[in-house]
Amino acid sequence: MNLYAFVRPGTELVSQKEIQEVCNVNSIIHNSVLEFDVKNKEDIVQAVYHLQSVRRLVFSLGKYQDIESINFNSVQFPWKDIFSKTCSCKVDVEGVKGQDNRITIAKNVLSSLLPTIEQKCGFTPNIDVKNPSIIISVFHNGDNYFIGIDMCGKELDARFYRVFPHSGSFKGDLAYYFVRKSGFSKGEQLLIGFVKDGALVIEAAIFESTYLVQDITQKDLSLFSFPLFHNFDFDQVISNPTQDNNKNIFAFDESTRNHTAARKNIKIAGVSSQIEISKHDIDDLDVRYSKDQFNRLIFHVTTKDEERINEIYYQASYVLQKKGTLLFIGRENWDVSVSEKFTLIEKEEIVHGKGKYVLWLLEKK
């Protein structure tokens, strides 16, 4: 089956790498969309429960340059595996400005889709805009309209473990992206400073352990209602891996409130055995950790921390190995002065809502 993964703008290359790692398939990059094929139900479930960089996963119904060209009759799609007589549908439109425009697009999609379902399945689904069992997802990425059946029925970047959120933290897909941009690989020593609600450190632990991104105890994903997955043994395919107590991911925060929230979220995520989290000041790194202990450092630097950049550099140069990387995540207009002990490898901006984050990736000389 052909799938679309909708991702955050600018994260496509990391998502392509993750799809190769998790699903063992190549993918085609479109702006904010990855297109790839899977062979069976097991591969679909693996993608849903293990891909960290994805906002939405949909079964492809094709991409179209304009709404008027939409025609589902020629689409090769297992209609009876998705739609049942008891299902209900609605259309969600993303990437299009104006409510009237979105309503018009939704009507055009349904005018082609409903007759096709009637022809292929022998019935017409009900339309339910409040509690549908199936969402028809339409995403305009600036070039094409990508249309598909949302296999989950919700955005996947809003993690179940963020019960105690921090206003300055990130959704799961963005936190995962930052971890991968730091260069972190499985088995390396990673330290995350100013940990906030723990999103960064949790995503790092999930990546390293191949732990589940979605909560298997919750049966609210759309795919549970698809005929394709009736009598499917989900537990056999997506059981969590056995974890050991060899901690190589560390985190700290100076705030008791943040430290407590992060610890609770880490426990909810089920990755406590992989993470050592502490409450201490930035000044204490050289007494808490060994010299040259870490391969990677990540610091989420908010406005109140910016004036402490020299202390961060001093401590980082002590605990970071030679050729190790230091990733700063900062506000849009923050201008970092690069320490003489480090080399700037890359500077990047990532769109976040109406603003941006700036990433500074440095390497210790």
**Mind giving me the DSSP string for 292-355?**
T-EEEEEEE--GGGGGGHHHHHHHHHHHEEEEEEEEEEEETT--PPPPTTEEEEEEEEEEETTE
Distance (Å, whole) CA 249 – CA 187: 9
Give residue 259's pLDDT: 96
Name the pLDDT band for 209 (thresholds 50, 70, 90). confident
Distances (CA, A) of 151 to 24, 227, 282: 20, 12, 43
- Checking if the pLDDT of 245 tops 70, the result is no
Report pLDDT for 238.
75
Q: What is the CATH number of domain 2-150?
A: 3.30.2130.30
Is residue 264 helix, strand or coil? helix
Q: How many CB atoms lie within 10 A of CB 150?
A: 23
**What pTM, to 2 d.p., does this model score?**
0.95
pLDDT of residue 211: 86
pLDDT of res. 95: 95
What is the helix (H) or strand (E) element at residue 196, kind and residue range? none
Q: Which CATH architecture has domain 172-364?
A: 3-Layer(aba) Sandwich (3.40)
Q: What is the rounded CA–CA span in Å between residue 82 and residue 134? A: 9
Percent of the chain at pLDDT > 90 equals 84
Q: What pLDDT does 86 receive?
A: 94
Q: Within a 10 A sphere around the Cβ of 122, how many other Cβ atoms?
A: 9
User: Average model confidence (pLDDT) for the chain?
Assistant: 94
pLDDT of the residue at 239: 67
2-150 and 172-364 share one fold: no
> In the chain, what percentage of residues exceed pLDDT 70?
98
Going by pLDDT thresholds of 50, 70 and 90, the confidence category of residue 286 is: very high
Residue type, 127: I
Q: Give the per-residue pLDDT at 84.
A: 95
Q: What is the pLDDT of residue 240?
A: 61
Stronger pLDDT, 218 or 180, i.e. the higher one: 180
Nearest to 361 by CA among 332, 340, 336: 336
pLDDT at 327 over 80: yes
Q: Express each pLDDT in 8-60 by its tens digit.
A: 999 999 999 999 999 999 999 999 999 999 999 999 999 999 999 999 999 99
Hey, which bits of the chain come out as E strands? 2-6, 28-30, 33-37, 56-64, 88-94, 126-127, 134-140, 145-150, 190-193, 249-253, 275-279, 294-300, 320-331, 342-352, 355-364
Q: How confident is the model at residue 243 (pLDDT cuts 50, 70, 90)?
A: low
Name the pLDDT band for 215 (thresholds 50, 70, 90): confident
The 10s digit of each residue's pLDDT in 86-132 is 999 999 999 999 999 999 999 999 999 999 999 999 999 999 999 99
pLDDT band per the 50, 70, 90 thresholds, residue 237: confident
Radius of gyration of the chain (CA): 22
Report pLDDT digits (tens) over 142-172. 999 999 999 999 999 999 999 999 988 899 9
Task: Give me the count of residues in the chain.
Answer: 365
Q: What is the pLDDT of residue 299?
A: 97
Domain ranges of the chain: 2-150, 172-364
